[in-house]
């Protein structure tokens, strides 16, 4: 089954998405998400200028061989641009295989290992009262797991707090927004938020929190320790994880479960974290960590060490990603982040997946069960956008 054509579709139905479409000689096509938030066109060029010419004429059924060809054949390995491009190819080839065999992709991955995928949503408020209200809105929608973020008294803005909308979107058009940060104000405040949430919602609701790479190891250890009475489902990205060893220090001090990996690109980024059991959830995704094929390898390593998967699923990962993630998720044991896309995004990417009672299912359409309405997509041209940056109160650049 020869690949005869492939193209990159860049569109912006509310936010930017990069989608790869691969077409085979018998007319079957597959889709892959290649969106790298804030650096989209680098991946689009990597695909159009360097990868697509190598795909034409290849057998679309040889998913693993094409993966190895693109990974080993580039000589320059890993990195978010390369790995997002490989991910898109891999995902599109799984879509094609599913369609060719008339089976949903999860059936090709060993079949469903449970009836649905537990997902968590994002609740946030400018202050604790608003955050409590946002969490109760999610409870009413049926969510069993909810991430809670709140504005911090003394800081004008911070990560994870939407502007009164369901659709939190951090990327800004034209120039990056500048946030201001202070770890002391944050560390003193977050335990109060979770004390209040536990009082309000009782012990059973799964509560999560994202520190978004902003703490040092010892600060993260303190936060984990102080959050212990509130039994978080996880504390996410406590420190920037370039230094995997730093999690040893955090781990020595706290039993709060730790999740990390949304910015990782390969199994090598999390090998030590998993093998030393320094984390509880690995958050690598189908779109940034080598597609369904590579994520299965990460999940296999993680399973050995009782580390579960909990893939990133913010709105900058497209519905094509979400479909692929859910097929993968249904075949393993985990939780999935789920930020709802806007209605215009959902119209551009019609999909078979669905949400009910806090769980999601990829649906039973052949392949991934997601499509792109190209004519509609062309009405939303790309607009350059950047993620925010973050500075400490004295102006020092910090991690956003
Ligand atoms: O900031 O996807 O857990 N979710 C997150 C996201 C990320 C964005 C960055 O593009 O941390 O909201
Ligand atoms: Co995160």
Q: Which domains does the chain have, with CATH numbers?
A: 3-104 (3.30.390.10), 108-365 (3.20.20.120)
- What is the distance between the alpha carbons of residues 216 and 238, in angstroms, rounded to a whole number? 8
For residue 165, is pLDDT > 80? no
Question: What separation in angstroms does the CA of 125 have from each of 153, 300, 302, 378?
Answer: 12, 37, 34, 35
For a mutational test of ligand 1's pocket, the pick from 316, 322, 388, i.e. the residue with the most ligand atoms closer than 8 A to its C-beta, is 316
CA end-to-end span of the chain, whole Å?
45
- Token pair belonging to 257: 């479960």
Instruction: Ligand 1, residue 159: give the atom nearest the CA.
Output: 1
Q: Is 351 in the pocket of ligand 1 (CB under 6 A)?
A: no
Percent of the chain exceeding pLDDT 90 equals: 95
Q: Is 329 in the pocket of ligand 1 (CB under 6 A)?
A: no
The conformation of residue 48, written as its DSSP 8-state character, comes to I
- Token pair belonging to 234: 């996880």
Residues 6+ apart with CB under 8 A from 53: none
Instruction: Ligand 1, residue 315: give the atom nearest the CA.
Output: 2
For residue 166, is pLDDT > 90? no
Is 312 among the residues known to form the active site? Answer: no
Pick from 142, 217, 230: which is nearest to 183 by CA? 217
Average pLDDT along the chain: 96
Q: What is the mean pLDDT of residues 144-163?
A: 92
pLDDT at site 199 = 98
For residue 255, is pLDDT > 90? yes
Instruction: Please give the model's pTM, rounded to 2 decimal places.
Output: 0.97
CA atoms within 13 A on the CB side of 214: 25
Q: What is the mean pLDDT of residues 21-39?
A: 98
Determine the distance from the C-alpha atom of residue 368 to the mean position of all C-alpha atoms in its chain, rounded to a whole number. 17
Pick from 147, 95, 97: which is nearest to 323 by CA? 95
Q: What is the mean pLDDT of residues 211-228?
A: 98
For residue 157, is pLDDT > 90? no
Q: List the alpha helices (DSSP H) in the chain.
A: 40-45, 52-55, 63-73, 80-100, 105-108, 128-141, 183-201, 217-227, 246-253, 271-275, 291-304, 319-331, 343-348, 374-377
Residue-wise pLDDT for 58-75, tens only, equals: 999 999 999 999 999 999
pLDDT at site 299 = 98
Instruction: Ligand 1, residue 283: give the atom nearest the CA.
Output: 3
Q: Is 210 in the pocket of ligand 1 (CB under 6 A)?
A: yes
Q: Label residues 197-223 b or e (16+ Cβ within 10 Å = b).
A: bbeebeeebbbbbbbbbbbebebbbbb
pLDDT at site 171 = 84
pLDDT at site 365 = 98
Is 159 among the residues known to form the active site? Answer: yes
Q: What is the largest CA-CA distance in the chain?
A: 61
Q: 207 — phi, psi (to 5°)?
A: -110, 135
Q: Is 16 in the pocket of ligand 1 (CB under 6 A)?
A: no
For residue 162, is pLDDT > 80? no
Question: Using CB atoms within 10 A of its CB, is residue 76 exposed (0-12), middle (13-18) or buried (19+)?
Answer: exposed
Q: What is the mean pLDDT of residues 345-363?
A: 98
Instruction: Ligand 1, residue 38: give the atom nearest the CA.
Output: 10
Residue position matching structure tokens 């109160």:
393
- Token pair belonging to 50: 């360097």
The residue whose CA has the least distance to atom 8 of ligand 1 is 314
Q: Is 40 in the pocket of ligand 1 (CB under 6 A)?
A: no
pLDDT at site 164 = 60
Q: Is 280 in the pocket of ligand 1 (CB under 6 A)?
A: no
For a mutational test of ligand 1's pocket, the pick from 179, 283, 284, 312, i.e. the residue with the most ligand atoms closer than 8 A to its C-beta, is 312
- Token pair belonging to 272: 């030590």
Percent of the chain exceeding pLDDT 70 equals: 98
Q: What is the mean pLDDT of residues 99-109?
A: 98
For residue 276, is pLDDT > 90? yes
Torsion 36-40-46-52 (CA) sign: positive
Q: CA angle 105-100-28, nearest 5°?
A: 110
* Ligand 2 center–CA 286 separation, angstroms: 15
- What is the distance between the alpha carbons of residues 284 and 291, in angstroms, rounded to a whole number? 10
Q: What is the mean pLDDT of residues 175-188?
A: 95
- What is the distance between the alpha carbons of residues 114 and 336, in angstroms, rounded to a whole number? 14
Residue-wise pLDDT for 305-341, tens only, equals: 999 999 999 999 999 999 999 999 999 988 999 999 9
The residue whose CA has the least distance to atom 2 of ligand 1 is 314
Give residue 346's region: left, alpha or beta (phi > 0; psi -120 to 50).
alpha
> For residues 224 and 235, is the Cβ–Cβ distance under 8 A?
yes
pLDDT at site 376 = 98
pLDDT at site 333 = 83
- What is the distance between the alpha carbons of residues 264 and 80, in angstroms, rounded to a whole number? 8
pLDDT at site 173 = 78
pLDDT at site 246 = 97
Among 122, 209, 212, 327, the active-site one is 212
Residue position matching structure tokens 């800004």:
172
- What is the distance between the alpha carbons of residues 377 and 380, in angstroms, rounded to a whole number? 6
* Ligand 2 center–CA 260 separation, angstroms: 8
* Ligand 2 center–CA 186 separation, angstroms: 16
pLDDT at site 35 = 98
Task: Count other Cβ atoms within 10 Å, centred on residue 151.
Answer: 19
């Amino acid at each position: 089954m020869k690949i005869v054509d492939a193209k990159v579709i860049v569109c912006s139905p509310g936010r930017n998405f990069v989608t790869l479409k691969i077409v085979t000689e018998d007319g079957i096509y597959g889709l892959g998400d290649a969106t790298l938030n804030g650096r989209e066109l680098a991946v689009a060029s990597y695909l159009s200028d360097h990868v697509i010419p190598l795909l034409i004429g290849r057998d679309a059924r040889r998913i693993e061989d094409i993966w190895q060809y693109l990974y080993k054949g580039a000589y320059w390995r890993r990195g978010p641009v390369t790995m997002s491009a490989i991910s898109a190819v891999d995902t599109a080839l799984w879509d094609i295989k599913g369609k060719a065999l008339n089976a949903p992709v999860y059936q090709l991955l060993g079949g469903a290992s449970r009836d649905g995928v537990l997902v968590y949503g994002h609740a946030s408020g400018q202050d604790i009262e608003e955050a409590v209200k946002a969490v109760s809105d999610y409870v009413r929608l049926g969510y069993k797991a909810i991430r809670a973020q709140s504005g911090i008294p003394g800081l004008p803005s911070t990560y994870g707090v939407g502007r009164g909308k369901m659709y939190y979107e951090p990327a800004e058009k034209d120039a990056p927004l500048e946030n201001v940060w202070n770890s002391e104000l944050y560390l003193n405040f977050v335990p109060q938020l979770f004390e209040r949430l536990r009082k309000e919602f009782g012990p059973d609701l799964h509560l999560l929190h994202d520190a978004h790479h902003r703490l040092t190891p010892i600060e993260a250890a303190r936060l984990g320790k102080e959050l212990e009475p509130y039994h978080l489902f996880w504390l996410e990205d406590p420190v920037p994880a370039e230094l995997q060893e730093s999690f040893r220090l955090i781990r020595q001090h706290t039993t709060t479960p730790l999740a990390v990996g949304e910015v990782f690109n390969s199994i090598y980024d999390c090998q030590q974290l998993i093998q030393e059991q320094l984390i509880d959830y690995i958050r690598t995704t189908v779109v940034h960590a080598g597609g369904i094929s590579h994520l299965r390898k990460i999940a296999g390593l993680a399973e050995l060490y009782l580390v579960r998967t909990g893939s990133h699923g913010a709105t900058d990962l497209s519905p094509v990603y979400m479909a692929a993630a859910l097929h993968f998720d249904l075949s393993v044991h985990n939780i999935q982040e789920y930020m709802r896309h806007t209605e215009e995004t959902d119209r551009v990417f019609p999909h078979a997946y669905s949400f009910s009672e806090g769980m999601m299912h990829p649906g039973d359409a052949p392949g991934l069960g997601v499509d792109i309405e190209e004519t509609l997509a062309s009405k939303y041209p790309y607009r350059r956008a950047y993620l925010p940056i973050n500075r400490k109160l004295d102006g020092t650049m910090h991690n956003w």
